[in-house]
Amino acid sequence: MTFRTLRTWIFKGHRLLGFAIGLIAIVIGLTGSMIVFQSEINDFLLHRHLDPIIPQGDRLPLEVVLERVKTAYTNQPNMSLQRVYFPAKPDDFFNVIISVTSNDWVSVYVNPYTGAILGDSLHPNAIQHFLAIVYELHTSLKLGDLGLYIVGWVGLGMCIVVVAGIILWPGWRKLVAGFKIKWNAHPKRLNFDLHKLLGITAATFLLFTFFTGFAWNLGYVDPFIRAITFSPAPPDLASQPIAGQSPRSLSQQMKTAQLALPSGALRSIDLTADPKAPLRLRMKQTQERQEYGISNVYLDQYGGQILRVDDSLKASLGDKILSSFDLLHYGTFGGLPTRILYVFVGLTPLILFTTGFVMWWYRKRKDIRLVEVSEETIARR
């Protein structure tokens, strides 16, 4: 097979696959642009809506905060505690995550000094409700588990489309041609110039976002990366229930976790009703860019033994690669500038699909005209 033939097949695959998944990719891209700053928007709205928190002495023990939440939501069917996020600043609130019959993920905001319930996400305002819908569309098209699979496979498909586009980029033959735009040219040529320039400019970031989405939604990437980096998968952990004994208090467990990872700041605890599950405390170290950190301490719920410490500074190569997905997907690796850039990256599937469709349309019209001319010539003979 000659290179010219191979290039033709790559071009056909690039076009067909792009058209096949393009509309879903557009939805994923546009919704991604809209939620780049979702966390900041929600925080802004919350702090405007909730009563201000005035620091006054020490925070209440976590057990007291959780008991206040359980008491306030006893009327909610099948209410259970899921997780608690700790205040990052003195004037910030506890965010206690509960699940109820109607919702698996409800945030309850608690004053860390008085224990007062400041509000919850059961009845969000219009903007928060809209962003929540956008987030569901982005991750699963609001189709549940089926949507997660669809979005995951579209992510892989987009990676193939982008790689094919990189191969087809005319700049490999002549660098200037790969970046030049003829603004006064025919619309077909102008669309081609815009397509090639935007495609090569956004290619790396599109690969970051769509590949990490594929990895998260389908889960096939983790074992592969661990295999090629010779990084063992973390062992399964379990607590050992002790007959007649309740789990250790969370305050005691927090002290143990802090001793296990002194350089980390406690950011969250996963709460569980399963007596055999380990207690996971998430810590953030200074060097970590993720909002809630990526270091963890796992403890036995009853004996308080340290089952495992995930120190990001001592992580294996495979773990470091996997933990970088968060930064790559959300664009936080470069701070505010890359996050702003990601707003525009989310628009590129729409622009690339549109310019690609216009080029195909002109090509189709040309083919139709050639057929008409051929038929007319045959008729005259």
User: Band of the pLDDT at 362, cuts 50, 70, 90?
Assistant: confident
> How is 88-132 classified by DSSP, letter by letter?
SSTT--EEEEEEETTEEEEEEEE-TTT--EEEESSS--HHHHHHH
Instruction: Let me know if residue 281 belongs to a domain.
Output: no
Identity (one letter) of the amino acid at 46?
L
Which residue range is the domain that position 381 belongs to?
A: 1-51+126-232+318-381
State the average pLDDT over residues 60-74: 94
Per-residue pLDDT at 60: 94
> How is 39-59 classified by DSSP, letter by letter?
HHHHHHHHHHHSPPP---SSP
Stronger pLDDT, 100 or 27, i.e. the higher one: 27
Instruction: Let me know if residue 262 belongs to a domain.
Output: no
Kindly state the DSSP code that residue 274 receives in the 8-state scheme: -
Per-residue pLDDT at 123: 83
Per-residue pLDDT at 221: 94
Global pTM value: 0.88
Mean predicted lDDT score pLDDT of the chain: 91
**pLDDT tens digits for 139-164?**
999 999 999 999 999 999 999 999 99
What percentage of the chain carries pLDDT values higher than 70?
Answer: 96
**pLDDT tens digits for 295-307?**
999 999 999 999 9
Instruction: Let me know if residue 179 belongs to a domain.
Output: yes
Instruction: Let me know if residue 361 belongs to a domain.
Output: yes
Instruction: Let me know if residue 271 belongs to a domain.
Output: no
**pLDDT tens digits for 191-231?**
899 999 999 999 999 999 999 999 999 999 999 999 999 99
Instruction: Let me know if residue 155 belongs to a domain.
Output: yes
Per-residue pLDDT at 203: 97
Query: In total, how many domains does the chain have?
Result: 1
What percentage of the chain carries pLDDT values higher than 90?
Answer: 73
Q: Going edge to edge, which strands form the sheet with 94-100?
A: 117-120, 103-110, 94-100, 80-85, 265-270, 279-284, 295-299, 306-310
Instruction: Let me know if residue 163 belongs to a domain.
Output: yes
First to last CA, the chain: 38
**pLDDT tens digits for 5-19?**
899 999 999 999 999
- CA dihedral over 255, 260, 262, 264, signed as positive or negative: negative
User: Does residue 381 carry a pLDDT above 70?
Assistant: no
User: Does residue 328 carry a pLDDT above 70?
Assistant: yes
Instruction: Let me know if residue 283 belongs to a domain.
Output: no
Per-residue pLDDT at 369: 53
Stronger pLDDT, 47 or 109, i.e. the higher one: 109
